[in-house]
Amino acid sequence: MVSLHTTVIALAFLQVQAPLPFDLKVDRDAFAVYATVLQGRRDEVKEPLVLQAETEAPRTCAGLLDGMTGEWAEVANNFRRENARVRVLQSGLPLGVEYRVIPTATILADDARLAAKDPRRRNAPRPGSIKYIALSAVGFNAARTKALVYVRFRTEHFSDALLMKELKEGKWVTGPQGCAGTA
């Protein structure tokens, strides 16, 4: 009987943790926010962009989330809920840029291979490492006019940002503040 309970608990945990694919109809606003962020990086990163398939929660900038008030507090709370579970980006999403997705497992395997060749280099991408962009799930206010998204870039260097976006005249623009750091 104990084995049955353990199995049920383990299955329930796995079920909760399974990555969730994006839905083209439901997540249309999130794709518009992603498109704004990615199109702004076109000059820095050659297309096709490489996106990490799985979303990830912020590694930095937790203080910004904790300090948000008013409608932005609502956005921060939704952002936390949306990022409690990993989402999976697929090819063919309407992001306004040419891109391809690569699983995190592939990135980690490549990193391990390169680390074995040069174990001393830790704080910068190793020569030949996969250059990619990782995104979080997007948090919104109830009216879906304010959004929060985390973006981590691994290009020639590491950087990350928690970006606040506002919908104005039908376009997502930079919000009142954000947080940038190094991941």
Residues 126-177 have pLDDT tens digits of: 778 888 999 999 999 999 999 999 998 887 666 788 889 999 999 999 888 7
Rounded distance between C-alpha atoms, residue 104 and residue 154, angstroms:
13
Report the chain's mean pLDDT, rounded to a whole number: 82
In a domain, 172, yes or no: yes
Q: What is the DSSP letter of 39?
A: H
In a domain, 153, yes or no: yes
In a domain, 89, yes or no: yes
User: Residues 137, 147: contact at Cβ < 8 Å?
Assistant: no
* Predicted local distance difference test score (pLDDT) of residue 4: 42
In a domain, 103, yes or no: yes
Q: Which of the four pLDDT bands, split at 50, 70 and 90, describes residue 27?
A: confident
pLDDT at residue 19 is higher than 70: yes
In a domain, 124, yes or no: yes
In a domain, 2, yes or no: no
User: Residues 153, 136: contact at Cβ < 8 Å?
Assistant: no
Rounded distance between C-alpha atoms, residue 102 and residue 160, angstroms:
19
Question: pLDDT over 90 for what percent of the chain?
Answer: 38
* Predicted local distance difference test score (pLDDT) of residue 79: 95
* Overall number of domains in the chain: 1
